[in-house]
């Protein structure tokens, strides 16, 4: 009742307000008192409801009203603010309104902080190619693709995927502050889809990502992907690790990439080469591919583990290439061998100047009548069974250049063991 009476009093005369003005004071004296008080805007609101009653309604009535105000302080504040708005004094009304601050959950705050801290380390890479105009015959440099990358060290090394820079005549790297730098290719590894670029940028603009470990990852832990999907710079997607130790094939050579991380974080075209981070902001992988019949993110993305990337990047920075051993053969597709009812790797060609040719492995050929004579079928290397080409690559990845391996082959109806000295893979251009 006290709150209602006061609100009516502030908004104008009413039956509830008139009895408060009759004891010991006349309306004329109240008018003189109001005229003597200096104005304070459209409506001079007192500092508090208690002061309002003390100044305008002294005496026993005011004392009773003050007791009622003590019990109805909350509703009275709302009534005062409403009355001030009705009378047109928005400034006075705002004094009674308390804005509720934006509240984020702990996990939201952690995600926001992770994105803010690591975004300066992610770069945007533009792949430029030379094209000749069909009418003017002018040579033009046009963008043919784009992707993501990240700062590896303070020396200006940028890590990305090989397929992001493939076929480029010129490369440009855009940092988080939108500064653009010409990039030079330090080296690349087609088999593992990794490339290293170099830019000449001030060290204060280069913020390397902290490198984590991928060997102890667990299915279900949270991961965060930062990249530039569809040219939209610095986009964050989140998810979990949905699988470990997956195997995918390199888009350039078809060679298998082992121990790949599978995640349901959205990875779209343009995310390639961007970092995959754990909840601490440490680099655990490089986003490289998606499995999608439609071409868009279907919830299955793949990242090359940082343990694999780290060794490759170190070799590329130091030597400009990755030294990987080879047998020096060309082999038939796995489906062809399966159709023959065999298991292993069928040698199609073993050049005489290659490791396998020097050791005596036989190629597939035709006789004088055009009949096909199958070459050697590799069934094991160093005692490890070889059922297909992926098995062969997996074994060779664990070997070193100059190492002698024992290759068991099926030649006709007989099995033979041949010693082969592995040689380094020829440089790619």
DSSP 126: E
C-alpha to C-alpha distance for 61 and 54, rounded to whole angstroms: 10
Tell me: pLDDT of 2 over 50. Answer: no
Residue 101: the pLDDT is 56
**Consecutive H or E run containing 181:** strand 180-189
Q: 6-15, 68-77, 140-149, 203-212 — which is least confidently predicted?
A: 6-15
Whether residue 263 contacts residue 242, with contact meaning beta carbons closer than 8 Å, is answered with yes
Residue 326: the pLDDT is 87
In the residue annotation, 272 being an active-site residue is answered as yes
The domains located in the chain, with CATH, are: 118-199 (2.40.10.10), 221-319 (2.40.10.10), 325-424 (2.30.42.10)
Tell me what the mean pLDDT of segment 270-295 comes to. 83
Residue 421: the pLDDT is 93
C-alpha to C-alpha distance for 258 and 247, rounded to whole angstroms: 5
For residue 86 the two structure tokens come to: 């009705």
Return the axis-axis angle of helices 73-86 and 2-11, rounded to nearest 10°.
Answer: 20
Question: Model confidence at 210, in pLDDT bands (50, 70, 90)?
Answer: very high
Average pLDDT across the chain, whole number: 77
Tell me: pLDDT of 285 over 90. Answer: yes
User: Pick the catalytic residue: 121, 146, 148, 272?
Assistant: 272
Paired residues of 140 in beta bridges = 131
Tell me what the mean pLDDT of segment 399-411 comes to. 90
User: Pick the catalytic residue: 193, 264, 278, 376?
Assistant: 193
**Percent of the chain beyond pLDDT 70?**
69
In the residue annotation, 163 being an active-site residue is answered as yes
Residue 282: the pLDDT is 93
Whether residue 179 contacts residue 205, with contact meaning beta carbons closer than 8 Å, is answered with yes
In the residue annotation, 297 being an active-site residue is answered as no
Residue 400: the pLDDT is 85
Per-residue pLDDT tens for 335-353? 888 888 888 999 999 999 9
Residue 132, C-beta contacts closer than 8 angstroms, at least 6 positions apart: 138, 139, 140
Per-residue pLDDT tens for 47-68? 455 555 455 555 555 565 556 5
User: Pick the catalytic residue: 89, 148, 157, 163?
Assistant: 163
Question: Model confidence at 136, in pLDDT bands (50, 70, 90)?
Answer: low
DSSP 275: E
Whether residue 269 contacts residue 177, with contact meaning beta carbons closer than 8 Å, is answered with no
Residue 3: the pLDDT is 43
Per-residue pLDDT tens for 137-180? 555 555 567 889 999 999 999 999 998 888 877 888 999 888 99
């Amino acid at each position: 009742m006290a709150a209602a009476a006061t609100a009516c009093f502030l908004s104008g005369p009413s039956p509830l307000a008139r009895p408060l003005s009759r004891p010991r004071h006349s309306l004329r004296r109240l008018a003189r008192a109001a005229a003597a008080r200096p104005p304070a805007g459209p409506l001079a609101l007192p500092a508090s409801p208690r002061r309002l009653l003390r100044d305008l309604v002294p005496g026993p009535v005011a004392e009773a009203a003050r007791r009622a105000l003590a019990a109805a302080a909350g509703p009275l504040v709302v009534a005062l603010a409403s009355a001030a708005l009705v009378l047109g004094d928005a400034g006075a009304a705002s004094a009674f309104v308390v804005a509720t601050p934006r509240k984020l959950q702990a996990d939201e705050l952690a995600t926001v902080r992770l994105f803010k801290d690591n975004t300066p380390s992610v770069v945007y890479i533009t792949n430029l190619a030379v094209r000749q105009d069909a009418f003017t015959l002018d040579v033009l440099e046009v963008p043919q693709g784009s992707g993501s990358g990240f700062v590896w060290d303070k020396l200006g090394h940028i890590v990305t995927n090989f397929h992001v820079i493939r076929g480029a005549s010129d490369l440009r790297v855009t940092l988080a502050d939108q500064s653009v730098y010409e990039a030079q290719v330090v080296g690349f590894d087609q088999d593992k889809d990794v490339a290293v670029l170099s830019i000449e940028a001030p060290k204060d603009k280069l913020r390397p990502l902290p490198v984590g470990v991928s060997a102890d990852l667990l299915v279900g832990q949270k991961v965060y992907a930062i990249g530039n999907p569809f040219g939209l710079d610095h986009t964050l997607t989140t998810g979990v690790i949905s699988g470990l130790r997956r195997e995918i094939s390199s888009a350039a050579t078809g060679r298998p990439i082992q121990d790949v991380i599978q995640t349901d974080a959205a990875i779209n075209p343009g995310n390639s080469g961007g970092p995959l981070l754990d909840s601490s902001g440490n680099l655990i992988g490089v986003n490289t591919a998606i499995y999608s019949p439609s071409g868009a993110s279907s919830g299955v993305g793949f990242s090359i583990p940082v343990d694999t990337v780290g060794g490759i990047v170190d070799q590329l920075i130091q030597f400009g290439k990755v030294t990987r051993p080879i047998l020096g053969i060309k082999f038939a597709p796995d489906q062809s061998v399966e159709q023959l009812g065999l298991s292993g790797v069928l040698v199609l060609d073993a050049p005489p100047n290659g490791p396998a040719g020097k050791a005596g492995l036989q190629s597939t050929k035709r006789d004088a009548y055009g009949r096909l004579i199958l070459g050697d079928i590799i069934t094991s290397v160093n005692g490890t069974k070889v059922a297909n080409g992926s098995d062969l690559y997996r074994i060779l990845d664990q070997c070193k250049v100059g190492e002698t391996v024992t290759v068991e082959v099926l030649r006709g109806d007989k099995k033979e063991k041949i010693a082969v000295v592995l040689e380094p893979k020829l440089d790619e251009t």
